[in-house]
A = this chain, B = another copy of it.
């Protein structure tokens, strides 16, 4: 293939994937099942019906390789998909690197991140089964905004518990949810039993995703017209995000590039990493590529690199099924670092399984290194990356520097999961030299 001189590759609408890719079908060993928290037996479909519609429960347990994307979902995807891929030539030049850097960019979605890829099908399947209301939690606010948008697309109402730290510190994201019709409550709140208990136990807490999940579940379960919705971690969420990686493979081809040598993606709950990497992991497993996949997590919430691989709860009040994952403990409350989307205590079971099987690597990135990479990227390429995405860019920067030292020209694929327009106060802090290096 001849290397292209294009700056970006934007696919046509008919190249939006027709199916989601389920990595479970191709894994060398089956991933450990979710367990019922009472019996510790593998979870049955009926154990989840209070929380999720059957369409999503079936996907959670599916071993089918390809699951068709409903046309109603693809119609909404077309509002912003396919997402662009850039050859970041000016960033390469700024780094003085011999490496070639390609960026798959999810920041042009309605809410500015990859989260809408799963929010839209989640709202769709709920609408299909007669639900009229969704309840969820959100950390940085990206997932809450995505679900507010998706609910609006299918005529559902949307109730969001937002981690208090970001509710207060990042009001723009709350306002974005309101524009899309979402109703937002800071968590922990007095609206739920779980919230009231948590406020008694931790009166000064800035909140955590685990706490907000407990509140959202409680609120959803008590309304028969409502479902709960989760923005990461679970298998069906990872599944929906695989539109990213499938497009990325076509785009690298259109750039006339061989499979990537490296893939860097930020990992909080794991859905962004899974979405970009699983279709490429399939290429690895089938011998068409040997891409080194690197999860980039923040030093402040290092579940893969410093957590324990065990069954744990997804929330703080032990209301979820038990999930086998790398975890820092369900009551872990990280420092209020700026990459709010990366503050979760655990890592998606499918990502955890791949990591434990040696199919992926992981690094942890310090906050200042992440923002230094983000500012450099913004000034070179004109895109201000989300604070989460800065971690992936920092991973790529380090790899590019190694390449320059040994004179190699590897192809580095970076997932930039969102734009940082609503993270500008964090950039301001970094540029003013006032950011802590957690």
Contacts and interface: CB of A to CB of B under 8 A. Distances in A.
Given A176-B384, A421-B172, A152 B379 contact: yes
Interface string A250-287: 00000000000000000000000000000000000000
Nearest to A116: B382
Contact of A384 (B171, B179, B424): B179
A410 B202 CA distance: 60
Interface in A366-400: 375, 378-379, 381-384
A176 B421 contact: yes
Nearest to A110: B382
Interface in A170-197: 171-172, 175-176, 178-181
Contacts of A108: 108
Interface string A138-168: 0000000000010011000000000000000
A53 B70 CA distance: 56
Contacts of A13: 6-8
A45 to B, nearest CB: 32
Contacts of A384: 176, 179
A95 interface: no
Contacts of A8: 13, 78-79
Q: State the number of copies, please.
A: 2
A431 B178 contact: yes
B175 A425 contact: yes
Interface residues of A, number: 42
Nearest to A424: B175
DSSP class of A's interface residues: helix, strand, loop or mixed? Answer: helix
A106 to B, nearest CB: 13
Given A172-B424, A175-B425, A428-B175, A180 B10 contact: no
A425 B116 CA distance: 22
A52 interface: no
A427 interface: yes
A236 to B, nearest CB: 22
Nearest to A111: B382
Given A79-B7, A422-B421, A424-B172, A378 B179 contact: yes
Interface in A184-231: none
Interface string A305-325: 000000000000000000000
A427 B172 CA distance: 10
12 contacts: A8-B78, A10-B12, A112-B421, A153-B382, A172-B421, A172-B422, A175-B427, A175-B428, A176-B421, A179-B378, A179-B424, A179-B431
Interface of A: 6-8, 10, 12-13, 75-76, 78-80, 86, 108-110, 112, 116, 149, 152-153, 171-172, 175-176, 178-181, 375, 378-379, 381-384, 421-422, 424-425, 427-428, 431
9 closest residue pairs by CB, A with B: A110-B382, A175-B424, A7-B78, A175-B428, A421-B421, A172-B424, A79-B382, A179-B427, A10-B10
